[in-house]
Amino acid sequence: MASREKSNEFTEGYIKFNFKLNDGNPPSPEKLVKLNEWRQKMYGLGVIGAYPNGVGFGNVSVKDGKYFIISGTATGRLKELKPEHYVTVTDYSFERNFVECTGKIDPSSESMTHAALYEAGEAAAIHVHAMKPWEKLMGKVPTTRSDVPYGTPEMAYEMLRLLRETGVRKQHIIVMAGHEEGIIAFGRSLDDAGQAILKEVVPLLNDKKIIKSKKVD
Ligand SMILES: [Zn+2]
């Protein structure tokens, strides 16, 4: 089986982690129905999308047996995702800052952060960007330390630390203070995660953000 190993600097800039992409089939369409449903909702709200410079943001994932399925890197700007835009993460190591996956696209640069949620026993995650809600929710909902950059093993450990604290799991949402605009919702299902975004994030969105993120490409 063909595979590729690399240490990648992603389009979002400062993040590096090592991954191995094994060439294989993308996840089957049935596994993606709910994932795409929520992803479309988020795209429509402008909390997954692309900045005016073309850099995409936001990603979604769901548990698949002992693995998890996550959207590929730089897919935020795409209006709709097809199976080939997703990869299955089959292994990861926080210690080695390493992710192994199968599919046709490089994994999201935030795969490590999602992995922390699965490590803690959650089953779905939706990562969005939204300035106003990020500012307003910081410190009010569980918040990662501001000196912890996203996509790193440190962020994974920080998420695990938060998830151990009482109450965090019930809120289904974490603000990433060290990742501007970054918010991640999670739960035992995609509906749990999606509902947390609708309840906590959407009421705080302003029109400006929605217009800004619409149809940048
Ligand atoms: Zn992000």
Q: What is the CATH number of the domain that holds 159?
A: 3.40.225.10
CA of 166 to the centre of ligand 1 (A): 25
Q: Which of 68, 168, 53, 163 is nearest to 111 (CA)?
A: 68
Count of beta carbons in the 10 Å neighbourhood of residue 31: 16
CA of 131 to the centre of ligand 1 (A): 11
CA of 133 to the centre of ligand 1 (A): 14
CA of 153 to the centre of ligand 1 (A): 15
CA of 164 to the centre of ligand 1 (A): 22
Q: Which domain holds residue 99?
A: 3-213
pLDDT in tens, the chain (217 residues): 456 555 444 444 445 678 999 999 999 999 999 999 999 999 999 999 999 988 899 999 999 999 999 999 989 999 999 999 999 999 999 999 999 999 999 999 899 999 999 999 999 999 999 999 999 999 999 999 999 988 888 989 999 999 998 778 888 999 999 999 999 999 999 999 999 999 999 999 975 544 444 443 3
CA of 159 to the centre of ligand 1 (A): 14
Cα torsion 88, 156, 16, 95: sign: negative
Q: Residue 126's pLDDT is what?
A: 98
Integer Cα distance of 153 and 46 in angstroms: 28
Integer Cα distance of 140 and 41 in angstroms: 25
Q: Residue 93's pLDDT is what?
A: 94
CA of 150 to the centre of ligand 1 (A): 7
CA of 59 to the centre of ligand 1 (A): 8
Classify 70 as helix, strand or coil: strand
Classify 210 as helix, strand or coil: helix
The number of angstroms, rounded, from the C-alpha of 189 to the middle of its chain's C-alpha atoms is: 15
CA of 1 to the centre of ligand 1 (A): 31
Considering the entire predicted model, what is its pTM? 0.89
CA of 114 to the centre of ligand 1 (A): 11
Among all chains, which residue has been given the structure tokens 């940048």?
A: 216
Q: For the chain, what is the domain count?
A: 1
Q: Which of 111, 34, 44, 126 is nearest to 79 (CA)?
A: 44
Q: Residue 29's pLDDT is what?
A: 97
